[in-house]
Structure 1
């Protein structure tokens, strides 16, 4: 009966959604037709007048649709202002980045398939209910929330090791790839056909020719410069290759707004990699433009790797329709003697719970002593911004580590627009000057931390597919704390006087970028 009721409820929800969408289309059509004839009668039949009327009405209609969709208020206002001030640009941006229809239609189906195909099958042998009595009440609440939101378990039989910067990350990755015996699963947002990319490619080709199952996924937007010949040589060697969001009309598709930002490697189902590094020479500090590249990655062994495996296989199934459920991919993994807990947390537009954003919010609001944050892009929503300000005003040690120079100017300017209100609340902001900071960390009280692919920005909260690891009372947390303290030696503390000395045009550009920040 419960199952039947759930199906009926789901059908009713979908019916209401289709009805609402249909009414919107009818309304737009009626308005356009009415004003079409009105335009002929009042203004004449000149093409310019008709085009002007139609463009104006289209902007008004789209503004009404955005308003009726009950989006985040700041996002709604940003879209309406963009459409009003720059109609042509606004229309192009809306059709590329603003439509929710593709998201609802595709990702609701993906979430349903993931649950039916993988979660119920592959998660059966994982312990979802753990004894958390040895944690503080606030920590228990956080862990209960993270498991409920992410629908993944926290493992106390896993070992994690933080990998600082590209040299340590890629040397470890290359060693583990060479040891592979059964399969290699690899998923990256950015993959370049440069020196390090070619070295990894050659190992994958070698392993595929040895008979291993090698599956390689890249994001079509992030890796758009990846040559077809580079991929073809992998395919010829027997590697299964697919692109997330692959489309012949990528630039004219709403798919471009929903990107797979994950960085996942799973080897033989026993060892996994997760973190902030893509594959490219710049991540090894070989770029003249960026210089030293400060980043953080992590290697995981034990029980938690199973969750990482499932996340990859769900993404693979979504793009290829290949269901990989063979026992060898889910065989019992050797439990590692770890200190503390590790939880792998996926987040994306296929989950309306805003998983990582809400976990970040809970971590900040539950802090008792300190909140340390490192991010290359800082574009928070009101919830995160308020939580950081309140934590600082409550006397907590709140620090933000941010790059002194940008890799993308628009997010960089938007990020700076949030600094004055944070400094006023007592938040300490440090600009990293040794090179480019790309680490994505949140450390609370020196005991709980999260590391992964998600930035502290609205794109990671609402649009991208991300994956993070939540760590509690592990040696990896202590390593992250010491790395953070070392990074502070290469920073400049942002002062109120520095912000006050900014020129008017700089403040204007920052304010303009902030206006567009919900769309970034």
Structure 2
């Protein structure tokens, strides 16, 4: 009788736990697909669903980091006010496409669009590493860097040596790296040597079994930024790796990236983002050490605005920026992303654009390093192809560039993948560039990608094997969680 009572009590507690977690899911306002997927997982596989939700379902920043975010909010608003006093602030965009995006970003974050910049695209990662090393060697006062992945090997070695040398000559050097993405580097002798040389190495979003109970382990620092002397910066899709040695065991070829070199007033904005991220981790008030009213001399005429995104101060506004861009397109959309698992709103924006006569070109890697993402991505293709979207499979390696070109006028270049993690969880940064010459150069790069790509035939795609369609649809069910 006692055994029966304990068994019934256990079942009751188990049922109450399932109901409690289900209510926890429904109390959060999320996209409907995400909520339904979590509920399906919790009721179909209760133990797995409950554990996964507690680990990945809530955006726990952690108590200390959340407290810092609240304290830094006032500081952020003050900094934005100073940025707005720059003589390089542009009140009116060059194009009709850029103006709504400018207004959106200013309304959401307060960050202005700045002129006086000189922008250069680096489409060859080796050339990026060489130029970045040379710029580090010329640094005089500050080097702020943050990357998701840092991996030794190849041309990364002389770059790390240049960082150590800069620290030895009293340049203030910070290197912020993600705990998960750069776990091997953080354990290496190279990181110890950098610290010994005076480089301030900071581990972002530290992950261990204890912290899994206090914050999500998949909230990741996915930004890639280098900022030097408040006058020069880099941002884009490239991690601090040499593609000849990075992830070669995956069999997807070398990663193909795009990095943007920024000279001029916009570089200070990017340096301020890194300063905020370092303060979020360490509490060190770096933003006060930047001269936000510095009379930076213009080095060009190109206009640029940035949108940081992620939990905390900057918010998850990137989805609004992407949707606005897609709906503003009148003639052409060219989009590249290594991981394409859009939410319903982005999928519909692409379908709607093609349906109203906009030429929509998606350039995605033919081979991907994630089994789930590959099949989840394929599950979206049929609706896009039926609407007239052109889907190109890039054969020249793993295309890692994250870019959006609208009507060959306005460009978005940054770190955001088209998946739920980048849109809602990761700390990301996107550059909004309102310049005809830059758009033309980005279009040149897109054409080079297309030369190495194969267009998917809509009729042939519909005839793919039944088992593949079944697998895609099964994975599609959990796509809101990828």
What's the TM-score once normalised by structure 2's chain length?
0.92
Select the residue among 411, 431, 442 that pairs with 1:449: 411
Deviation at 1:341, TM superposition (A): 1.5
> Alpha carbons of 1:253 and 1:125: their partners in 2 closer, same or farther (altered >3 Å)?
closer
Question: Contact 2:147 / 2:239 at 8 angstroms: preserved in 1?
Answer: yes
User: 1:203-218 to 2 correspondence within 5 Å?
Assistant: 203-218=162-177
Deviation at 1:133, TM superposition (A): 6.5
Query: Tell me, what secondary structure is at the counterpart of 2:333?
Result: strand
Select the residue among 150, 155, 158 that pairs with 2:114: 155
- 1:392-449 deviation per Cα after TM superposition (whole angstroms, max 9, x unaligned): 0000101100010011111111111110011111111000012111110000000001
Question: Contact 2:84 / 2:112 at 8 angstroms: preserved in 1?
Answer: yes
Select the residue among 253, 276, 281 that pairs with 2:237: 276
- 1:252-310 deviation per Cα after TM superposition (whole angstroms, max 9, x unaligned): 55331211100111111110010000012336778362323221111101110111111
CA distance in 2, matches of 1:84, 1:97: 17
Q: Report what 2:5 is aligned to.
A: 44
- 1:16-59 deviation per Cα after TM superposition (whole angstroms, max 9, x unaligned): xxxxxxxxxxxxxxxxxxxxxxxx8894334xx65554333322
> Alpha carbons of 1:133 and 1:509: their partners in 2 closer, same or farther (altered >3 Å)?
closer
CA distance in 1, matches of 2:397, 2:448: 14
CA distance in 2, matches of 1:259, 1:133: 33
- Relative to its length, the structure with more helix (as a share) is 1
**Larger CA Rg, structure 1 vs 2:** 1
Find out whether 1:246 has 2:201 as its counterpart. Answer: no
Query: Tell me, what secondary structure is at the counterpart of 2:307?
Result: strand
- 1:160-198 deviation per Cα after TM superposition (whole angstroms, max 9, x unaligned): 111103122111111111111112111000111333333
Deviation at 1:487, TM superposition (A): 1.0
Query: Tell me, what secondary structure is at the counterpart of 1:281?
Result: coil
CA distance in 1, matches of 2:111, 2:66: 19
Query: Tell me, what secondary structure is at the counterpart of 2:90?
Result: coil
User: 1:31-430 to 2 correspondence within 5 Å?
Assistant: 43-46=4-7, 51-100=10-59, 102-103=60-61, 109-121=67-79, 123-127=81-85, 130-132=90-92, 134-136=94-96, 138-226=97-185, 227-249=187-209, 250=211, 254-282=215-243, 287=248, 289-326=251-288, 329-330=291-292, 332=294, 334-350=296-312, 354-430=316-392
Deviation at 1:338, TM superposition (A): 3.0
Query: Tell me, what secondary structure is at the counterpart of 1:373?
Result: strand
> Alpha carbons of 1:41 and 1:79: their partners in 2 closer, same or farther (altered >3 Å)?
farther
Deviation at 1:239, TM superposition (A): 1.4
Deviation at 1:508, TM superposition (A): 2.2
**Mean Cα displacement is larger for which, 493-502 or 107-116?**
107-116
CA distance in 1, matches of 2:461, 2:104: 38
What's the TM-score once normalised by structure 1's chain length?
0.86
- 1:331-378 deviation per Cα after TM superposition (whole angstroms, max 9, x unaligned): 625333434410121011225853211111111101111111000111
Question: Contact 1:303 / 1:335 at 8 angstroms: preserved in 2?
Answer: yes
Q: Report what 1:30 is aligned to.
A: none
Deviation at 1:206, TM superposition (A): 1.2
- Provide the aligned length of Structure 1 versus Structure 2: 477
CA distance in 2, matches of 1:352, 1:159: 26
How big is the alpha-carbon RMSD for the aligned residues of Structure 1 and Structure 2?
2.4
CA distance in 1, matches of 2:95, 2:398: 36
Structure 2 stretches of 5 or more lacking a match?
A: none
Query: Tell me, what secondary structure is at the counterpart of 2:363?
Result: strand
